[in-house]
């Protein structure tokens, strides 16, 4: 063959990733939404027809949920109008059928706030790596970092 054409090069090149594919797996699914519900009162229905209501405390990357102040109601207990109360309860991800969201929650705003928090946290830790523990990050507003900046500002003012 004499040479390759632009058409051949385009065909051999790997397809570009869309912006959606560049996101982490948890950001492409509704897991980020469930993680954003931390601190809200939710109702979780499980596959064995048990309903659990409580404040969502933690959601891991597999969607295992931890609830505080949980009330657990089985089908038999619902008929007898009883429930079981727990201070803290763990619900395995593989058992979860539904997570009922409170009506007052705006899903779009909640997801966007969660993504912004993750972005801010990643910038904070990137700055920690670059600036190190001795040079505080510009995003670090702790008292120790402010003292270091104040001392350095005094030193620069003398020169």
Q: What is the pLDDT of residues 58-78, one digit of tens each?
A: 999 889 999 999 999 888 887
What is the rounded average pLDDT of the residues 124-145? 66
Q: Whole-angstrom Cα distance, residue 72 to residue 51?
A: 6
Let me know whether 89 and 127 are in one domain.
Answer: no
In a domain, 145, yes or no: yes
pTM summary value: 0.59
47 token code pair: 């596959």
The residue with greater pLDDT, 61 or 92, is: 92
Residue 128 in this model has a pLDDT that exceeds 80 = no
Token pair for 126:
């990137």
Clarify whether residues 61 and 125 are in a common domain. Answer: no
Rg for the chain (alpha carbons), in Å? 25
Is the domain of 116 the same as that of 128? yes
Residue 138 has pLDDT above 80, yes or no: no
Per-residue pLDDT tens digits for 7-60: 666 566 666 666 555 666 655 677 888 888 999 999 999 999 999 999 999 999
Q: Do 32 and 85 fall within a single domain?
A: yes
pLDDT at 100: 92
Q: What is the DSSP letter of 45?
A: E
What's the CA dihedral at 127, 130, 133, 136 to 10 degrees? Answer: -50
pLDDT at residue 45 in the model: 95
Does some domain include residue 32?
yes
Domain range for 94 is 22-105
User: Length of the chain, please?
Assistant: 159
Residue 37 and residue 101 in one domain: yes
pLDDT beyond 90 at 97: yes
Residues 52 and 83 in one domain: yes
Return d(Cα 64, Cα 31) in angstroms, integer: 10
| Residue 65 burial by Cβ neighbours in a 10 Å radius (0-12, 13-18, 19+) | buried
Would you say residue 13 lies in a domain? no
């Amino acid at each position: 063959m004499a040479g390759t054409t632009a058409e051949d090069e385009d065909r051999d090149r790997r397809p570009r990733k869309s912006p959606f594919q560049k996101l982490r797996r948890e950001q492409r699914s509704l897991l980020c939404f469930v993680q954003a519900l931390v601190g809200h009162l939710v109702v979780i229905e499980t596959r064995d027809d048990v309903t659990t209501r409580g404040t969502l405390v933690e959601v891991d990357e597999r969607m295992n949920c931890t609830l505080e102040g949980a009330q657990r109601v089985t089908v038999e207990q619902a008929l007898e109008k009883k429930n079981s109360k727990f201070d803290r309860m763990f619900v395995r991800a593989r058992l979860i059928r539904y997570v009922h969201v409170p009506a007052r929650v705006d899903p779009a705003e909640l997801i966007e706030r969660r993504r912004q928090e993750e972005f801010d946290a990643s910038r904070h830790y990137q700055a920690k790596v670059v600036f190190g523990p001795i040079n505080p990050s510009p995003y670090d507003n702790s008292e120790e970092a402010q003292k270091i900046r104040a001392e350095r500002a005094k030193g620069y003012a003398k020169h």
